[in-house]
Amino acid sequence: MKADYLALNSRISEALADSERVVSRAEFLLAKAKNNHDDSYMDGVALNLHSFYTGIERVFEDIARTVDKSLPSGQSWHQDLLLQMSASAEKVRQPVISRETRYCLDEYRGFRHVVRNVYSFNLKPSRLAELTQQLRECYQRVVKDLQEFMKFMEQLTEINQDNSNKGD
């Protein structure tokens, strides 16, 4: 269990670093679109907004598999996974994210669905701008929550290590 949790923390750290790059790219492309009065940059903004949620969702899937040992299925599994991460898993873990973080992420989950189902020229530049302007704050909430979760996982591995050493 110790090795699984340490590996999970490493994967989460790597995903957060990647997410930082995605957030910065979305902000950069939105600025380019505004400065150049060129909506073609908005396709890149949309792709990065999509990538942000997809990357965080992969982290949640990893936590669900590694810690919860339960991954939602069915038509609403994306929404169910987000709910699962904001709830505590009895005797297993604390909530991974706060309710506020779940609310902000749900905006990007819904947008990810839109991006996958419409042509990019049908995306509203004003909505892309709004989501990008809120992105850094949402990302910072995710980072804060996942860092707390990783500390919790480290404490669990230390407790497990201490308990196994007592048996020696």
pLDDT of amino acid 91: 82
String of DSSP letters for 121-147: GGS-HHHHHHHHHHHHHHHHHHHHHHH
The phi and psi torsions of 162 (rounded to 5 degrees) equal: -60, -45
CA distance 134 to 144: 16
CB burial of 116-129 (b: ≥16 within 10 Å; e: otherwise) equals eeeeeeebeeeebe
Average pLDDT of the residues in 95-106: 98
Confidence of residue 96 (pLDDT cuts 50, 70, 90): very high
Is 143:96 a contact under the CB 8 Å cutoff? no
Confidence of residue 60 (pLDDT cuts 50, 70, 90): very high
Confidence of residue 46 (pLDDT cuts 50, 70, 90): very high
DSSP symbol at 16: H
Domain positions in the chain are 2-162
CA distance 143 to 52: 12
pLDDT surpassing 70 at residue 24: yes
Average pLDDT of the residues in 89-118: 93
Provide the β-strand partners of residue 93. Answer: 89
Assigned CATH for 2-162: 1.20.120
Mean pLDDT of all residues in the chain?
92
User: Tens of pLDDT along 77-88?
Assistant: 999 999 999 999
Confidence of residue 89 (pLDDT cuts 50, 70, 90): confident
Average pLDDT of the residues in 111-136: 92
pLDDT of amino acid 1: 57
